[in-house]
Amino acid sequence: NISPMGPEVETPLTTFVLKPYQTSRTYQNLKRTGEGVLHVTDDVELIARAAINQFDDLPATFPAEAVNGLVLADACRWYAFRVASLDDRQERTRIECEVVDEGRIRDFFGFNRAKHAVLEAAILATRTKFLPQFDVEEQLARLRIAVDKTAGLNERKAFEILSEFVKAEYASDDRTN
């Protein structure tokens, strides 16, 4: 399972907290296995595709050594972890994780305005089930300005993938906008 998550982290990164919804595959996997791999990447197309689970081909990986999991071969950094505690009394589960191994593959380029816009668009795309179409389309139009001004090919492609996904989601939705 490749899923974008925004963990709560502190420096140094020896522990972190994930807060997946109980309906997510991430929650189900971590509850079942108690371990995984957290990645740091600046590849916004990967993040966009992971957010909506649309991969032409899965990205290259290699086995993690300390846990039963896979490391994305093009991640900047990765952190193998074990679940220290899992509190699923609320809709968003609180999963405290302990890092047991880590690695660095390449430098983190960072996020320009276009990359940041794609991240925000990916978040919007995951919320089409409960956000009104007008609001999502209005926010996407604002984000498109940054993409038009500062995006490279990767960011443009990622933004279009998300825009098409959002359009298709609302087209297949029978609720009133």
User: Tell me: the pLDDT tens digits for 107-126?
Assistant: 999 999 999 999 999 999 99
Q: Is 176 helix (H, G, I), strand (E, B) or coil?
A: coil
pLDDT at residue 91 in the model: 86
Asked, as a colleague might, if the bond just before 12 is cis with ω within 30 of 0, I would say: yes
The radius of gyration of the chain's CA atoms, rounded to the nearest angstrom, is: 17
- 39-84: per-residue pLDDT in tens? 999 999 999 999 999 999 999 999 999 999 999 999 999 999 999 9
pLDDT digits (tens, 9 = 90+) for 147-159: 999 999 999 999 9
Confidence bin at 175 (pLDDT 50/70/90): low
Return all residues near 45 (Cβ < 8 A) that are at least 6 apart.
118, 154, 155, 157, 158, 161
